[in-house]
């Protein structure tokens, strides 16, 4: 495409990465122009108007404000252009990812634990198929980390207490660095890994090879019973608890009259802070599982609840 | 020294440690700052030696984390923030304004003692075992997970914060109320406009830092969760509170430098600063708008996209007044009569290095590029270009410019020029490769790194060696000049400001008679002779 | 005999105006100090409205209201003292200031009683905090802010009481009005501490108690 006509251009690994690279090239070009002009003028004035040199110093500029307004306006317009350019790409980078291929990532001191929907898990490595948008759902077990893939020009902080969605798409097979980019303690610089991008067939083969015993949703179902959730939310329960089949992605009416969408965050908050959003028509009886369930287990429970019916939120 | 001046007005320890003379307090600060610069510089040296190789060889990871934290805390709060305001500002402001002292001399002395107390507490934290949270103290790591002397460090900074507040308060009141007769606002040298803007930030931003540090200490000591997500606290609230102070703080760490540059560029071009009013109001604009951009440190933190949009926009706006200043300084050179004394070399270096730092700030204000570059060495290079290439360079420039006034001695000019050139070269070699490292994706605060980053790291560490030598040179020749330098006259640079209309060094009471100001600053006649402000 | 002023001032009027302006700038810093804390309060109140309301109902409104009345009255006495500042009425002025001091001390004592009650009711975060489970998180955040804000306010009160005591002594003894600027500045500080309390009262005691 037209970008190949730019000198020194080489396409990167993702379309958004290319957009960012073009922006970077533009910023470099403009900066080089401005800096070049500045250094030229500084050098020119220093040479021509050095004290020992007899140059024409009469007729100094009187009405300085013409110049002031001009270069202020020029700066402002230039900056506005750069702002819009950067903002447009930013919004595309962080739009809500499609739900088709979801991978869960749990960040903890000092490793990345990756879980694929089918139950395959890996540590500090993320295998993904080429040219497909992958939705990462990220959580932190302890402190703030940051998921950084330089080849994709992409990063986002992973903050404890919340889920973070991130879409990644890689168009070239290969191995790319994964870094933690938010200082997180002793082994922060050791919390690195790889993104392995494979052709579709290779990726399918790799998935099959991992021999997971159960998918995440199946493990979530087992947890659902072990932790006693089915005791209240199950069919034969005497306790009046909201049914969870078909819940995912739909609107939930709350006791205070508002509505909330049952997305991943809602499920997680309901398990950890059940009294924060009471469903309409129900008593606030559910106990909190804060401290009794890890981020890995939470992801499995969320996967399970997704699997028992519902829609994309 | 033949005549009586502030230096020979008393030799006892009591006359120094209980002084209320702004000039002596400036010297007290100057000595303390040299000490802290060395401490922070020692940490930097260790860091750069370690980073010359990809693997760990000099220190453990825990030690490395403590080193970069200490470097940040000391350099930010115990060197840069007090640097120009408390040394050059304390000394020169009353002289420049035609006053006998600052408005509140005893508060001035108290600010130095608070600074030293804060420094002592922070040094205790360092010597007892260090802090490993980074100078930014992000939660929940600093409150719940760090096994280091967080509370002590935080308390040291808290105490030093009061020193900042008192300094800012003193300058604001002094500039409002103690101006000499005839010295209207638009006749003030631009150094004072910059210090005024700095002081507004000092008094309004520092209290928010104080409160944030108290909350960290409360959370850590009492085990209550203010920023703890497990009980519903929000780690991002900490970031908002922290950066609400710390972004304006970076303007504290550049505005005084810009103020000095005005004085240098005009004196050594023998010409008034181009667009005086624009430069004056640009300082105020930077201070005001600087309070509205803090979220640009949080573009990938999880704050809303709309918030990021607003903060990016405001960050571009705040760059406009800085750009105005750079254009004005350049225009000042036009049709001037330029002399290349050491202060001017520093001023020219400042204009170049600050512009590079400022332009790369635009890169970071640009949302999509910041997603890639934040938390990498690109940011580290950016802020070092402004704080070191800008502020420290301006500090050295101002120090050389006012050295004859402060000490009554002339420094050796050729050594000074050599040091200035070596600093410029060493600085660029140290920090320009870091832009490349950041663009390539090397994260910051990394003790070990992938081997492909080594080349640029070696260049940077090599530059650091040169920079260290270059920064040591002034110690030697300035120290030499104190004892053996030629004595200075009242006005060795032939400059028009009020501070030059009194002997070098000044008498304790600054002026024998109250100066009366009759003209604007920087008035040089067409044949480049200075016309004093009070003639 | 004219008052000697420090060399940077040209007259006592100059010195006095300068000192008062200094106090105004200092109060601006205090606004930002409490402002940061209040901002944090509002962020959490927005996230946990029910918990904040429930927690607020556990505060002792009788003591809070009494303290508000005490502090407002003390400010009134200080204002009267400023008005009464003259050589002939200096004993009255000192007496008014002493009255304000006593009221200030009453405030502190009542605050202590209140803290003791809250300790007994397990409302002190970090010291065996206990609240009904459905609102515990938000309530704990509320009480963290309650204790930090009122403790810092009480510290400012103690400093203010000290300053008023110094002022009362100076006024009683001095036969001139040279301390007028000091009185004005200290009065300003006291009024500011009062205004902060009014904000804190509204944010701490009132949520959850209407209707």
Inter-chain contact A35–B355, Cβ cutoff 8 Å? yes
Strands A193-198, A121-123: pairing kind:
unpaired
Determine the average pLDDT of the residues in A147-157: 96
Q: Nearest chain B Cα to A186, which residue?
A: B62
Q: Please list every residue in chain A whose beta carbon sits closer than 8 Å to the beta carbon of residue B270.
A: 51
Is C2 among the domain residues?
no
Question: Any CB–CB contact under 8 A between B222 and chain C?
Answer: yes
pLDDT per residue as tens digits for the range A163-215: 999 999 999 999 999 999 999 999 999 999 999 999 999 999 998 888 776 78
Q: Nearest chain B Cα to A188, which residue?
A: B446
Inter-chain contact A185–B146, Cβ cutoff 8 Å? yes
Kindly state which CATH superfamily the domain A102-209 is placed in. Cupredoxins -  blue copper proteins (2.60.40.420)
Q: Please list every residue in chain B whose beta carbon sits closer than 8 Å to the beta carbon of residue C44.
A: 232-234, 237
Inter-chain contact C36–B223, Cβ cutoff 8 Å? no
Inter-chain contact B104–C22, Cβ cutoff 8 Å? yes
User: What string of DSSP letters covers C76-129?
Assistant: HHHHHHHHT-SSTTHHHHHHHHHHHHHHHHHHHHHHHHHHHHHHHTT-STTSS-
The CA distance from B116 to B77, in Å, is 12
Inter-chain contact C133–A288, Cβ cutoff 8 Å? yes
- The b-or-e profile of B399-428 (16+ CB within 10 A means b, else e) is bbbbbbbbbbbbbbeebbbbbbebbbebbb
Q: Please list every residue in chain C whose beta carbon sits closer than 8 Å to the beta carbon of residue B226.
A: 40, 141, 144
- Residue in the block written with tokens 């040169």: B466
Inter-chain contact B334–A61, Cβ cutoff 8 Å? yes
Quickly count: other Cβ atoms within 10 Å of residue A307's Cβ: 16
pLDDT per residue of chain B (535 residues) written in tens, 0 to 9? 457 899 988 889 999 999 999 999 999 999 999 999 999 999 999 999 999 999 999 999 999 999 999 999 999 999 999 999 999 999 999 999 999 999 999 999 999 999 999 999 999 999 999 999 999 999 999 999 999 999 999 999 999 999 999 999 999 999 999 999 999 999 999 999 999 999 999 999 999 999 999 999 999 998 888 999 888 899 999 999 999 999 999 999 999 999 999 999 999 999 999 999 999 999 999 999 999 999 999 999 999 999 999 999 999 999 999 999 999 999 999 999 999 999 999 999 999 999 999 999 999 999 999 999 999 999 999 999 999 999 999 999 999 999 999 999 999 999 999 999 999 999 999 999 999 999 999 999 999 999 999 999 999 999 999 999 999 999 999 999 999 999 999 999 999 999 999 999 999 999 999 999 999 999 988 788 888 988 7
pLDDT of residue C1: 45
* Interface residues of chain C, partner chain A, Cβ below 8 Å: 48, 50, 133-135, 137
Name the minimum distance, in Å, from the CA of A14 to any CA of chain B.
13
Inter-chain contact A275–C48, Cβ cutoff 8 Å? no
**Residue B409 is part of a domain; what is its CATH number?**
1.20.210.10
Name the minimum distance, in Å, from the CA of B531 to any CA of chain A.
18
Picking from A254, A265, A269, A276 by the largest number of C CB atoms within 10 A of its own CB, the best residue to mutate is A276
- Return the partners of chain A (3 or more C-beta pairs < 8 Å): B, C
Name the minimum distance, in Å, from the CA of B104 to any CA of chain C.
8
The token duo for B141 is: 């790591």
Q: Closest to C33 (Cβ–Cβ): which among B101, B104, B207?
A: B207
Q: A40 in helix, strand or coil? A: helix
pLDDT per residue as tens digits for the range B508-530: 999 999 999 999 999 988 788 88
Q: Contact, C161 vs C94, CB < 8 A? A: no
Inter-chain contact C137–A273, Cβ cutoff 8 Å? yes
Query: Residue B347, class by beta-carbon neighbours within 10 Å (0-12 exposed, 13-18 middle, 19+ buried)?
Result: buried
pLDDT per residue as tens digits for the range C135-157: 888 999 999 999 999 999 999 99
Name the minimum distance, in Å, from the CA of C137 to any CA of chain B.
5
Name the minimum distance, in Å, from the CA of B471 to any CA of chain A.
25
Q: Find how far residue B344's CA is from the centre of its chain.
A: 19
Q: Closest to A20 (Cβ–Cβ): which among B270, B372, B448?
A: B372
- Residue in the block written with tokens 């700066």: A75
Quickly count: other Cβ atoms within 10 Å of residue C117's Cβ: 13
- State which residues form the domain around C31: 14-205
Query: Residue C187, class by beta-carbon neighbours within 10 Å (0-12 exposed, 13-18 middle, 19+ buried)?
Result: buried
Q: Contact, C133 vs A288, CB < 8 A? A: yes
Inter-chain contact B140–A146, Cβ cutoff 8 Å? no
Is B512 among the domain residues?
no
Q: Contact, C6 vs C15, CB < 8 A? A: yes
> Which helix (H) or strand (E) is B158 found in, with range?
helix B150-177
Least confident of B486-490, C1-5, C35-39, C123-127: C1-5
- State which residues form the domain around B235: 21-501
Q: Nearest chain C Cα to B171, which residue?
A: C22
The token duo for A287 is: 């106990």
Compute, in degrees rounded to 10, the torsion defined by CA atoms C164, C169, C173, C176.
-20
Name the minimum distance, in Å, from the CA of A60 to any CA of chain B.
7
Question: Any CB–CB contact under 8 A between A284 and chain C?
Answer: yes
- Count of A-B CB contacts under 8 Å: 247
Interface of A with C in 219-258 (CB under 8 A): 256
Domain spans, chain A? 2-51+63-93, 102-209, 216-307
Is C193 among the domain residues?
yes
Separation in Å, CA B510 to CA B23, B97, B101, B187, B395: 9, 11, 8, 20, 23
pLDDT of residue C174: 85
- The b-or-e profile of B147-186 (16+ CB within 10 A means b, else e) is ebbbbbbbbbbbbbbbbbbbbbbbbbbbbbbbbbeebeee
Interface of B with C in 232-251 (CB under 8 A): 232-234, 237, 241, 244
Q: Find how far residue A139's CA is from the centre of its chain.
A: 11
The angle at the Cα of A251, spanning A245 to A252, to the nearest 5 degrees, equals 75
pLDDT tops 70 at residue A1: no
Picking from C44, C51, C137 by the largest number of A CB atoms within 10 A of its own CB, the best residue to mutate is C137
Q: Nearest chain B Cα to C36, which residue?
A: B208
Name the minimum distance, in Å, from the CA of A260 to any CA of chain C.
15
Is B236 among the domain residues?
yes
Question: Any CB–CB contact under 8 A between A162 and chain B?
Answer: yes
Is B277 among the domain residues?
yes
Query: Residue A179, class by beta-carbon neighbours within 10 Å (0-12 exposed, 13-18 middle, 19+ buried)?
Result: buried
Predicted ipTM beyond 0.90: yes
Q: Closest to B145 (Cβ–Cβ): which among A153, A182, A185?
A: A185
pLDDT of residue B251: 97
Q: Please list every residue in chain A whose beta carbon sits closer than 8 Å to the beta carbon of residue C50.
A: 256
Report which of residues A291 and C69 the model is more confident about.
Answer: C69
Domain with residues A216-307, CATH architecture: Orthogonal Bundle (1.10)
Q: A187 in helix, strand or coil? A: coil
Is C185 among the domain residues?
yes
Determine the average pLDDT of the residues in C24-40: 95
Main-chain dihedrals φ then ψ at residue B448, nearest 5 degrees: -120, 155
Compute, in degrees rounded to 10, the torsion defined by CA atoms B424, B426, B431, B433.
120
Domain count along chain B: 1
pLDDT of residue C211: 55
Domain count along chain C: 1
Q: A122 in helix, strand or coil? A: strand
Determine the average pLDDT of the residues in A63-91: 92
The CA distance from C17 to C9, in Å, is 10
Is B530 among the domain residues?
no
> Number of C-alpha atoms within 13 angstroms, CB side, residue B501?
22
Is C123 among the domain residues?
yes
- The b-or-e profile of B209-247 (16+ CB within 10 A means b, else e) is bbbbbbbbbbbbebebbbbbbebbbbbbbbbbbbbbbbb
pLDDT of residue B47: 97
pTM strictly above 0.90: yes
Is C1 among the domain residues?
no
Inter-chain contact A188–B232, Cβ cutoff 8 Å? no
Q: Nearest chain B Cα to A138, which residue?
A: B302
Contacts of A8 (CB under 8 A, 6+ apart): none
pLDDT of residue A15: 86
Inter-chain contact A57–B235, Cβ cutoff 8 Å? no
**Residue C66 is part of a domain; what is its CATH number?**
1.20.120.80
Name the minimum distance, in Å, from the CA of B165 to any CA of chain C.
8
Inter-chain contact A183–B138, Cβ cutoff 8 Å? yes
CA nearest neighbour of B286 among B311, B259, B318, B261: B318
Question: Any CB–CB contact under 8 A between B444 and chain C?
Answer: no
pLDDT tops 90 at residue A241: no
């Amino acid at each position: 495409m037209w970008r190949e006509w730019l000198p020194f251009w080489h396409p990167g690994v993702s379309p958004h990465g290319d957009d960012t690279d073009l922006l970077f090239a533009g910023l470099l070009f403009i900066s080089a122009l401005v800096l070049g002009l500045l250094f030229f003028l500084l050098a020119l004035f220093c040479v021509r108007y050095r004290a020992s040199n007899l140059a024409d110093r009469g007729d100094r500029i009187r009405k300085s404000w013409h110049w002031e307004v001009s270069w202020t306006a020029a700066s402002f317009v230039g900056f506005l252009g750069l702002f819009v350019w950067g903002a447009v790409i930013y919004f595309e980078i962080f739009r809500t990812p499609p739900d088709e291929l979801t991978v869960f990532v749990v960040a903890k001191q000092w490793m990345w634990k990756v879980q694929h929907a089918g139950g395959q898990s890996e540590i500090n490595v993320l295998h993904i198929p080429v040219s497909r948008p992958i939705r990462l759902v990220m959580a932190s077990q302890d402190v703030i980390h940051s998921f950084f893939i330089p080849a994709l020009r992409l990063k986002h902080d992973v903050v404890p207490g919340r889920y973070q969605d991130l879409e990644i798409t890689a168009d070239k097979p290969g191995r790319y660095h994964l870094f933690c980019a938010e200082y997180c303690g002793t082994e922060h610089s050791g919390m690195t890994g790889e993104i392995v991008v494979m052709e579709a067939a290779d990726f399918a083969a790799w998935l099959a090879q991992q021999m997971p015993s159960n998918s995440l949703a199946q493990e979530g179902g087992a947890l659902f019973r072990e932790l006693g959730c089915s005791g209240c939310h199950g069919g034969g329960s005497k306790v009046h608890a909201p049914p969870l089949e078909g819940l995912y992605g739909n609107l939930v009416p709350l006791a205070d009259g508002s509505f909330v969408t049952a997305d991943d965050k809602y499920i997680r908050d309901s398990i950890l802070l059940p009294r924060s959003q009471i469903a309409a028509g129900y008593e606030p009886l559910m106990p909190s599982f804060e401290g009794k369930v890890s981020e890995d287990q939470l992801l499995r429970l969320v996967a399970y609840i997704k699997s028992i019916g519902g829609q994309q939120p | 020294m033949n005549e009586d001046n502030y230096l020979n007005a008393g030799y006892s320890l009591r006359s120094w440690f209980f002084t209320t003379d702004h000039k002596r307090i400036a010297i007290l600060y100057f000595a303390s700052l040299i000490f802290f610069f060395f401490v922070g510089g020692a940490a930097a040296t260790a860091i750069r030696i370690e980073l010359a190789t990809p693997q760990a060889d000099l220190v453990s990871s825990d030690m490395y984390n403590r080193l970069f934290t200490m470097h940040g805390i000391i350099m930010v709060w115990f060197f840069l923030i007090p640097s120009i305001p408390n040394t050059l500002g304390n000394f020169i402001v009353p002289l420049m304004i035609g006053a006998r002292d600052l408005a509140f001399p005893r508060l001035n002395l108290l600010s130095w003692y608070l600074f030293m107390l804060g420094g002592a507490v922070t040094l205790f934290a360092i010597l007892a075992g260090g802090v490993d949270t980074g100078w930014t103290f992000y939660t929940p790591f600093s409150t719940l997970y760090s096994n280091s002397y967080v509370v002590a460090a935080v308390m040291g900074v808290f105490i030093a914060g009061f020193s900042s507040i008192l300094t800012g308060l003193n300058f604001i009141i002094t500039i409002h109320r103690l101006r000499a007769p005839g010295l209207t606002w638009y006749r003030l040298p631009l150094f004072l406009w910059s210090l005024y803007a700095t002081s507004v930030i000092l008094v309004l931003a520092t209290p928010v830092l104080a409160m944030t540090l108290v909350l960290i200490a409360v959370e850590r000591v009492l085990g209550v969760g203010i920023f703890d997500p497990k009980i519903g606290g929000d780690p991002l609230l900490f970031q908002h509170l922290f950066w609400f102070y710390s972004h304006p703080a970076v303007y504290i760490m550049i505005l005084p430098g810009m103020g000095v540059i005005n004085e240098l560029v005009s004196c050594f071009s023998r010409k008034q600063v181009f667009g005086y009013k624009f430069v004056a109001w640009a300082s105020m604009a930077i201070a005001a708008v600087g309070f509205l951009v803090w979220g640009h440190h949080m573009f990938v933190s999880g704050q809303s996209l709309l918030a990021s949009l607003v903060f990016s926009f405001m960050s571009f706006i705040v760059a406009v007044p800085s750009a105005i200043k750079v254009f004005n300084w350049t225009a000042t050179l036009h049709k001037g009569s330029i002399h290349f004394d050491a202060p001017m070399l520093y001023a020219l270096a400042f204009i170049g290095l600050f512009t590079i730092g400022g332009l790369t700030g635009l890169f970071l204000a640009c949302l999509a590029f910041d997603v890639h570059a934040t938390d990498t060495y690109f940011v580290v290079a950016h802020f070092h270009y402004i704080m070191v290439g800008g502020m420290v360079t301006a500090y050295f420039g101002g120090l050389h410019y006012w050295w004859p006034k402060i000490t009554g001695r002339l420094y050796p000019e050729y050594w000074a020029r050599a040091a200035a050139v070596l600093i410029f070269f060493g600085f660029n070699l140290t920090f320009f490769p870091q832009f490349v490292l950041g663009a390539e994706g090397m994260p910051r605060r990394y003790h070990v790194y992938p081997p492909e980053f080594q080349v640029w790291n070696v260049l940077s560490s090599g530059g650091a060696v040169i920079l260290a030598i270059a920064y040591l040179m002034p110690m030697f020749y300035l120290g030499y000049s104190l004892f053996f330098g030629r004595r200075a006259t009242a006005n060795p640079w032939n400059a028009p400001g009020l501070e030059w209309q009194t002997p070098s060094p000044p008498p304790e009471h600054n002026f024998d008679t109250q100066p009366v100001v009759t003209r604007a600053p920087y008035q040089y006649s067409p044949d480049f002779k200075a016309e004093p402000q009070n003639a | 005999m004219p008052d000697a002023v420090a060399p940077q001032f040209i007259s006592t009027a100059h010195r006095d105006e300068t000192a008062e302006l200094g106090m105004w700038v200092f109060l601006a810093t205090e606004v930002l100090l409490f402002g940061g804390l209040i901002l944090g309060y509002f962020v959490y109140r927005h996230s946990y409205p029910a918990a904040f309301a429930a927690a607020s109902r556990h505060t002792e409104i009788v003591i809070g209201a009494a303290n508000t009345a005490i502090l407002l009255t003390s400010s009134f006495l200080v204002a009267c003292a400023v008005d009464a500042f003259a050589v002939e009425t200096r004993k009255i002025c000192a007496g008014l200031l002493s009255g304000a001091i006593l009221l200030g001390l009453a405030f502190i004592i009542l605050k202590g009683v209140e803290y003791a009650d809250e300790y007994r009711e397990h409302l002190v975060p970090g010291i065996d905090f206990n609240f009904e489970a459905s609102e515990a998180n938000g309530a704990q955040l509320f009480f963290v802010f309650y204790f930090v804000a009122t403790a810092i306010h009480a510290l400012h009160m103690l400093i203010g009481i000290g300053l008023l005591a110094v002022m009362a002594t100076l006024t009683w003894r001095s036969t001139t009005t040279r301390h007028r600027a000091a009185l004005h500045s200290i009065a300003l500080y006291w009024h500011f501490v009062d205004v902060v309390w009014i904000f804190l009262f509204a944010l701490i005691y009132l949520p959850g108690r209407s209707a």
